[in-house]
Structure 1
Amino acid sequence: MARMIRLAILLVALFAGFQATAAVTTHVVGGSTGWLVPPQGPIFYAVWSANQTFILGDILFFNFTTGEQDVARVTEQAFLTCNSTNPISLVKTGPANFTLNSTGAYYFIGTLNNNCLNGQKLAINVTTSPGPIPIPTPRTVPENFTVGERLGWIVPPLGEITYLTWAYNKTFIIGDTLVFNFHNGSDDVAVVTKDAYNICNTSTSLAVYNNSPAAITLNTTGEHYFTSTYNYHCELGQKLAINVTGTGSGSSPGSPSSGTPGPTAAPPSVGASPARISTSYFLIVFTIAMAVF
């Protein structure tokens, strides 16, 4: 009889512990900013999601004003091209909840006006457990980076955020080379100081490259600033700022702020993220069970 009582107590404790560790987390998309067209462009939600861990069963809470925004879950291809023609699902009434009921990648966009093209898009990855945070191995071998990738070095359609987004999460070390692709005669690359970069003053450029492709090797650590000497190109967003380290542990300068306040709808209370269920928990319970019996 005493053994049965001990077993009952153990099962109650196990169930209570499971409830505590298996609780889901509600992620308020964009934090206090909510779900809107962010001033910083696509990098805003990329930064937000990079600081989250999405586990099977978690909930995404999209806080937006009905009639002004919406949220569509789409395929990866639709996400990349901002195509809202055939979404997987579409919610027009805010706020909206999405339960992450399968592992893998999820893609969300706003379908109204040009909201997606202006940065209202979110990509996340859902796993079964948080697991250890991987520590990247510092890179020691120099690489070539094509600035803007296929877009090249131009006056970007979305302004300064284009090259800020490109540089985000890239690590630049001594010996790396930046390759600028542009049209000869209608563009160039100017190396400038931080002050000149901030006010778009190219009258005292440190160096100017007129022939494409311009390959610039990064030979010194610290911040490096680039723009174009052509009229208004810098003011319209053709500017790039990066940080070069000797160890591969740096990142691009100028991290975006949290943005302006968004919709006023009250989000759910989330508090601190609950503990996640783990194998070690069951090992502890198993050990206790062996001691009891």
Structure 2
Amino acid sequence: MAVATTKTLAFTAIVLAALLHSSAAQSTYTVGGTTGWTIPQGGDSVYTNWASGNSFAVGDILVFNFAVGIHDVTQVSKANYDACSASDPMLIATTSPARVTLNSSGEHYFICGFPGHCSAGQKVTVNVLASTSAPSPAPMASSSPAPRRALTPASAPSPASTASAPTPSTSPVSGDSPSSAPGPSARPPMTYTVADSFGWNIPRNASLFQSWAAGKDFMVGDVLVFNYSAGAHNVAEVTSDAYAACTTTNPISLDSRPPSRITLTTPGEHFYLCAIPGHCTAGQQLSINVTGEAGGASPSGSPSPGSGDMAPPSPNSAASLAGVSAAALLSVFVALLF
């Protein structure tokens, strides 16, 4: 009777430890990293490179951070992905951050369903491998013969191994602290003069303003300064669709008094153009992506970047807690055996 009870307890310990390990294996990935889910400056290679640098498994979670109303997340078939078509979608998410759990292995295809966004590079393919949590019980099973032999010397390694288990598990926990503390990297708000000395004018080439913005990190609290001649130009902030069509119908804001100073108050994409007829189509337009908040570690108005920063530590924390729990359970059952 005692032997049967011992075997039952040992088997239960193995199953519980395996379940804890399986739950810890889940990882969360923020699509595009700090870039978020937006029209990328470098085309679809931005998301291709991001995906190739990660290993996805069944059960993992993708987090899409985007500006609500000008982007969405649409999961499609490969044919529609290649054609940048949002017809017959498998999934559509319009609220941010969108969390998508990868429930099956194989390739998964995501695009932005807004017209023109996919063809501009807002698309990503992730290759999902089968869950890696299944083989985890195998190492645990190797410790089960010790109770069956019921030899006193065989029991000695078990407490030693369980005693050493918590030691490595504390390493990921301590590692979480610096990664989840963006405070040291926070900077004070900055003021950017659009296009520097060239100012807000009809550019010599259409890419001038985007080239100027490409090397800069805009954050909530920063200020844009538009220098131009009064009466010759103005600054209109518009929606993504209006920006693409070079139209100023129902602008978000319009200023014609230079220098125009615009404080960036929200994260996400912001679109500006000159509303004087013909100026936008000649290249006088600018789009920027605003992330985080200058001078603050946890901006209350920018949940998307925050979730991107905090998402990666979660699997590590879960793994460390699972390791400690599994070790504790095994210690209890070893004590009961002897």
Q: Normalized against structure 2, the TM-score is what?
A: 0.40
When Rg is computed on C-alpha atoms for both structures, the one with the higher figure is 2
The answer to which structure has the higher helix fraction is 2
